[in-house]
Amino acid sequence: MSDNTNKIRTGFYLEKELLDECDCFLEQSNSRSRNELVRKAIEFYLGHLKAQDNVEYLAPAIKKLVTSAVSA
């Protein structure tokens, strides 16, 4: 996903404290730049949201399946 040919330059406004915190985690996140850290953070959060959507979809389906299996 980090292919340079597909990247678009954009800008964000962030609080200084948040940017400072990002700088503190550059090394820990194995990021070479703020941009790389922010990209990783966005990818992680989007994955979290997708997983949450899957749980919200699957939970009722699993409940229904278990209920029908127990009732049988």
Distance from C-alpha of 12 to C-alpha of 36, rounded to nearest angstrom: 14
Contact 29, 43 (CB under 8 A): no
For residue 41, give the nearest of 61, 49, 17 by alpha carbon.
Answer: 49
What count of other Cβ atoms lies within 10 Å of the Cβ of residue 31? 17
The pTM of the full predicted model, rounded to 2 decimals, is 0.67
In the three-class reduction of DSSP (H, G, I as helix; E, B as strand; rest coil), residue 9 is classed as coil
**Per-residue pLDDT, 34:** 94
Contact 23, 60 (CB under 8 A): no
For the chain, the distance separating the N- and C-terminal CA atoms, rounded to the nearest angstrom, is: 46
pLDDT digits (tens, 9 = 90+) for 22-42: 999 999 999 999 999 999 999
